[in-house]
Structure 1
Amino acid sequence: MRYVILLSHATNEKMSLELIRAHVNHLRELDREGKLILCGPFTDYAGGMVIIRAASREEAVQIAERDPYVLSGKENYELRTWELSLESNGHMGIVE
C-alpha cells in the first residue's frame, strides 16, 4: 500500500541545517529500506510531500512520526492512503 505524508510548517521558525540533514538522513534510510517512492518540497506552499510504501497505516504513521521535522515540532503532517490509477490496472477498473 502507498501512503502520502503531507508536511506543513507548524512554526515560522527557520529550519536549522542540522535538522534539515536529519530529515534528509531519514529519507535516505527510507530509500535504503525500499519504502520511499518520491519526496520533495512544494514550490507554492510551505511544506512538502513524502510518498512511501508501508505494510499498514500503523507503519505509515510510525514512519511519519519519526521524521525529524515532525519530532522537532517544526512540521505537522497529514497522512493519506493513495491508490494508483494506471492503464495497467484499468484505471481502477473503470471501463470506457
Structure 2
Amino acid sequence: MAALEQHIEPDSQAAGRIVDDATEAAAKGLREWATGAGLTAALNGWRSSVKALEARLSAEKAALAGTNRLFLGTDGRIGSQFSAVSPLQQSRLSEY
C-alpha cells in the first residue's frame, strides 16, 4: 500500500496535470481552428479519465486497508489460540 500512496497516486496526479497544462495551452493557441475545439474536447475526456483513475485508486487503497485489517485481526485471533496451549503441548519452534 505504501507504493500506492507514495508513488502511484502522486505520479498519476502529476501526469494528469502535465497533460492538462500543455494541452490547455495548445487549445488556447489554436482556439480559432477546429484543432483547438478538438483539443478542448480531448482535454475534457482526459480530465474525466484522470478523475476516474483517481477514484479507482482511492477505492483500491481502501480495499487494501480493509483486507489488511481483516488479516491482522484473524492473525491475532489465531495466535491467541496457540498461546492458550499448555507448555507441555507446545512445539520447540515456540522458542524461536
Which one has the bigger helix percentage? 2
Larger Cα Rg: Structure 1 or Structure 2?
A: 2
Q: TM-score, normalised by structure 2?
A: 0.31
Higher strand share: 1
Q: Taking CA–CA contacts closer than 8 Å with sequence separation of 6 or more, which of the two structures ends up with the larger relative contact order? A: 1
